[in-house]
Amino acid sequence: MPELNYAQLIQQQKSYFLTGETKTIAFRRKQLKKLRDAVLRNEELIYEALYKDLHKSKFEAYATEIGFVLEELTYHIKHVKKWAKPKRVRTPLTSFPASSYQTCDPKGNVLIMAPWNYPFQLTLVPLIGAVSAGNTAVIKPSEISIHTAQVIEKIISETFDEKYLQVIIGGAKEAQELLQQDFDHIFFTGSGRIGRIVLESAASRLIPVTLELGGKSPCIVDEDVHVKLTARRIIWGKLINAGQTCIAPNCLIVHEKIKDKLLPELVNAIKKFYGENIQTNKEYPRIINRANMERLIGMMEGSKVYWGGRYDVEELFFEPTIIDEACLNLPVMQSEIFGPILPVLTYENMEELIRKLRECPNPLALYYFSNNKENIRKILNVIPAGGVTINDTLMHFANNSLPFGGTRNSGMGKYHGKHSFDVFSNEKPVVYRGTWLDIPIRYAPFRNKIKIIKKLM
């Protein structure tokens, strides 16, 4: 593909947006249906790309990527007309006669920058929100998951005109050039380090942003849990995509009374899911590239391995690994792991647990396994987090009726379902004033009017 002039592309998309064509509900629903049909047509290519990039099995690829996208498309096709309809709201007596409405306008021309770990889902789901809200968009998938990026480019280029939707494949150079353009909104998913760069660049032009970042998501296990079920759900959430999930449990904080029962069950769950020789299991994903393999190997330094720890750099295989007696100064506890390593810490009581959690940055996700309602209430009330799942992992992400996103260092802004429509919309207040009556109280002179206005307001 010839080198694009980004400024011209953006101007072309902005000009198309100004025609008003993308704003009609009929147009939006038609484009969402076209995208759904294109995904279904290319389903096998998507499977192949995800396997080449991350060694994802068909089941995992569908459950966490393709199926998620199709479900989101169906949800938006069904509800976008209702979401976009102006909503009448109460009008104060001081404005009589009048009627007041809240409308949703598309923001305009938006940029979507996606990561490599769920390269299909985390590119398409924000795009669905942008289309549903009536915008034009430039999409920048990660060049690291190149096979999936190429399939996304194929789907979009064969289905839509570039004046409406355009995919840019490239690395840091292309990303930096795109960040210099005058978008109306930027939606970024990725690391906190790059997220800060995006935010700084957008701030210089007062471009609104949504940042979906990462963070160290703790998983806490109270003393009163069903041990076998808890272990199974923790390992499931940790090992999806070989731990390369922004909301995967980053560390396990276990009540000291139950640790010796839980650790063997964690190992049993790993073996039940993937067998004794995990490297030969075709359903176990791989690490994305050599750089991330070396990063994970470095994280193991000084750690006490309870189980696992083997790896094969050439095959990008990293065995599920449980670290016992983890302490905060270990490399594995210094940053988001983004791999199949699970450090285990203990706590003695709720006071100690809350103190430990408060010493950490706000997590993107928090998981708490407990049957103690009072302890659950305390955790929910005192620990800020982007999202919480009680007695399971990841499940708050899977419900598109719920908003998903971080808080402070783990991100800003929410999406999924209607929240995706909202994030790409500008809520606009509209007041219609009647002309058949004009109450003069608001006009000068104001003498003797203070008592009246106090009664009206």
Domain boundaries, the chain: 6-213+411-429, 218-390
CA distance 412 to 83: 22
Where is pLDDT greater, at 360 or 55?
A: 55
Q: Which DSSP state fits 66?
A: I
CA distance 296 to 169: 27
CATH of domain 218-390: 3.40.309.10
Active-site amino acid positions: 212, 246
Burial of 430 (0-12, 13-18, 19+ CB in 10 A): exposed
Closest CA to 119 of 43, 55, 53: 53
pLDDT reported for residue 2 = 53
Q: Please name the fold of domain 6-213+411-429.
A: Aldehyde Dehydrogenase; Chain A, domain 1 (3.40.605)
Residues 152-207 have pLDDT tens digits of 999 999 999 999 999 999 999 999 999 999 999 999 999 999 999 999 999 999 99
Q: What are the residue ranges of helices labelled H in 300-388?
A: 350-358, 373-382
Confidence of residue 457 (pLDDT cuts 50, 70, 90): confident
CA distance 44 to 34: 17
pTM, rounded to two decimals: 0.96
The one-letter amino acid code at 134 reads G
Burial of 171 (0-12, 13-18, 19+ CB in 10 A): exposed
Is the alpha carbon torsion for 93, 99, 102, 107 positive or negative?
negative
CA distance 121 to 114: 9
pLDDT reported for residue 361 = 87
Report helix, strand or coil for 164: coil
Residues 91-106 have pLDDT tens digits of 998 899 999 999 999 9
pLDDT above 90 coverage of the chain, percent: 92
| 1, pLDDT greater than 80 | no
Mean pLDDT, residues 430-450 taken together: 92
Q: Which two tokens stand for residue 355?
A: 């103190």
Residues 200-211 have pLDDT tens digits of 999 999 999 999
* pLDDT averaged over every residue in the chain: 96
